[in-house]
Amino acid sequence: MIRAVIAVAAVALSGPAAGEPLRFYNGRLFIDAQVNGVPTEALLDSGAEATLIDPALAAKAKFPQGTPQVMKGSGGTAPARIVEGVTVNALGVELHPDAVVVLDMSDLSHRLIKRPTQAIVGRELFDAARLKIDISRGDIGAASRDAMPQGTKLPLTSHAGIEAIPVRANGLEAQADFDLGNGSDILISRALVNKLGLKIISKKSGGGIGGALNRDVVKLATLELAGQKFRNVVAAIDDQPSHNDLNVGTAILKNFLITTDFNQHAVWLQPVGRSN
């Protein structure tokens, strides 16, 4: 999850497309994209509220200067620019965001993503199309809304700009941010840690925009999602003011065939290797 708050995008769809390559590296998802016609590899992040572009790619794509802005992230703040009039193409979908965020991504690429990255495509793409995501097979594409998706249908509930799904942590009902940009451990709020009586077992470095931070780490005996039970799940404590009960990323979601439809406030999760 790379947090950046900005207005919702306006979009134009070219219709459902055939599956395209989905690269899974260090827990992160990468797709092919174009920014003002310039090809790039982009990190796919359902928890990012705006598309982020590195200044090097912005220069190639001939961005205007834009408006200076200070972006607040989990690790602090960072200088950025807000730029209007940008076109982003991905998965057969053409996006015309109200604006994108131009931000130096060299620290994120080196410290967190572990792969040279000049673009992060955020939830504008998820708002624009129903997406079918198969991490295990490395395949992703815009899907038709005429077909019934496979798997368990879960309602999406908006929380601080991110969509959340119902889960059970140690048997207790909770809400978890659905965050395909989270390639590390799941996150858990300190309030839920205290409610469950969990003990801190270690510390771990994390953080996003603004730099690194150290988080306390706990372990859940069970995490239940879409009828599946995961045991001995390590979770890092999220002390951000905007935290939800939990934040579930690819460490858990890679075990499912995923269909997202943010417009219809739903996601379908089908365990990999199983049929309806």
CA distance 250 to 23: 12
Give φ, ψ of 264 to 5 degrees: -100, 10
CA distance 81 to 102: 5
CB 78 within 8 A of CB 104: yes
Give φ, ψ of 39 to 5 degrees: -65, 145
CA distance 222 to 201: 16
Instruction: Please give the domain boundaries of the chain with CATH numbers for all domains.
Output: 10-142 (2.40.70.10), 152-271 (2.40.70.10)
Give the global pTM.
0.90
pLDDT tens-digit series, residues 54-66: 999 999 999 999 9
CB 32 within 8 A of CB 20: yes
User: In tens digits, what is the pLDDT along the chain, a chain of 276 residues?
Assistant: 444 444 344 444 444 445 899 999 999 999 999 999 999 999 999 999 999 999 999 999 999 999 999 887 666 788 999 999 999 999 999 999 999 999 999 988 988 899 999 999 999 999 999 999 999 999 999 999 999 999 999 999 999 889 999 999 999 999 999 999 999 999 999 999 999 999 999 998 776 665 567 899 999 999 999 999 999 999 999 998 888 999 999 999 999 999 999 999 999 999 996 444
CA distance 88 to 3: 19
* Residue 141 structure tokens: 């594409």
